[in-house]
Amino acid sequence: MTEMLTVTSIAALRRQISRWREAGESIALVPTMGNLHDGHLQLVRIAHKKADRVVVSIFVNPTQFGEGEDFAAYPRTEREDREKLHKHAVDLLFQPSLQEIYPPGSSTFITVNGISDLHCGASRLGHFSGVATIVCKLFNMVQPDVALFGEKDWQQLAVIRCMVRDLDMPVAIVAVATVREADGLAMSSRNAYLTVAQRRIAAKLYQSLREAKQMLVSEAMEFSRIEQQQLQFLTEAGFQPDYFSICYADNLLPATRFDRDLIILVAAKLGKARLIDNIQISRHG
C-alpha cells in the first residue's frame, strides 16, 4: 500500500496537486471535520471510483459553529482518523491549523442567500456562511475535479450546489447516500454525545421520517398535519424538536401536494446532541 501523504500547509498541498496535474491525474476531495466514521469512509470509497487521486481534509471549522455551540468539545481523533484513511488508500491528508486557514485579518466570507436562512440556518445563524466559506476555500486550495458530500446534511449539500453553480466553479458535486446504523440512526460524529439510554431513543428520529413518508405517499392527511403529528411524536419520545418540514427537494421551500420531488427534513436535540436527518420522496407517475 502506498504511503499516505500528510500536509499541513497550503503551499505543500498545492505543490503535490501540481505534480498530479502535470501527470494528467484527476483529483477527488472529501472535506471532513474528522472523528471519522463509516459515513465518511463511504465517501472515500466512492471518491476512489471518481478520480485518480483522493484528497481528504480534516479541519474543525470554527466559523460554522455559533455562540454556545460545541466547537471546543467537538470530538477530535486525529491518530485514529489517519489510520482509517491510510487503510482506505487515501493519497493525501490535508490537516491545516486554524492560522493556516484563517490568518490574522481574514475578513471575507461567502453567503448563499435564501436557502441558507431556512431550517438549520434559522436556528444556527451564520452556520451556512461558515460552511460555504470553508468549502470555497478548500475548492480554491485543492481545485478538485469532484467533491463528495453526504446526503445526511441535505441543506449543506443544497447550499454547496448553489454556491458552485452561482460562482461557476468547475467542480462536480457528488452526493452520497446516508450511511446508517442497524437500527436506522444516521451515522454522525455527534452521536458520541448520546448516553446509552438516549442512543436507544435516537433511532426514533428515522422512524418518524419513515412514518411521515408513508402517510405522504398514501395521501393520508395534509402536509401540515403530518408535520405536527411527527413533532408531537418526537417530543413525547424525549427529543426537543427544532423542525420537521416537508420541502421541495431543490430549494427546500415548503412543498405543496402538487410537488413531485420532495424531501422531509428533521432536526432535534437529544441531550447534548443535535441530530439531523432526512428522507427523499419522488411522486412521479
Containing domain of residue 253, as a range? 189-278
Domain closes at, from 176, 197, 221:
176
CATH number at residue 229: 3.30.1300.10
CATH number at residue 29: 3.40.50.620
CA quadruple 42, 6, 72, 75: dihedral sign: positive
In a domain, 284, yes or no: no
Could you tell me if 146 and 219 lie in one domain?
A: no
| Catalytic site residue from 37, 40, 86, 127 | 40
Confidence grade of residue 284 (pLDDT, cut at 50, 70, 90)? low
Q: In what order do the strands lie in the sheet with 273-282?
A: 240-248, 261-270, 273-282
In a domain, 183, yes or no: no
Domain closes at, from 114, 144, 176:
176
Q: How many CA atoms lie within 13 A of 144 on its CB side?
A: 27
The pLDDT assigned to 1 comes to 66
Could you tell me if 124 and 17 lie in one domain?
A: yes
Residue 119 known to be catalytic: no
Could you tell me if 29 and 85 lie in one domain?
A: yes
Confidence grade of residue 260 (pLDDT, cut at 50, 70, 90)? confident
Domain tally, the chain:
2
Per residue in 184-201, pLDDT (tens digit) is: 999 999 999 999 999 999
Q: With 70 as the cut, is the pLDDT of residue 285 above it?
A: no
In a domain, 262, yes or no: yes
Could you tell me if 151 and 194 lie in one domain?
A: no
Could you tell me if 63 and 115 lie in one domain?
A: yes
The pLDDT assigned to 257 comes to 80
Mean pLDDT value of segment 150-170: 98
The pLDDT assigned to 256 comes to 86
Confidence grade of residue 283 (pLDDT, cut at 50, 70, 90)? confident
In a domain, 182, yes or no: no
Per residue in 92-137, pLDDT (tens digit) is: 999 999 999 999 999 999 999 999 999 999 999 999 999 999 999 9
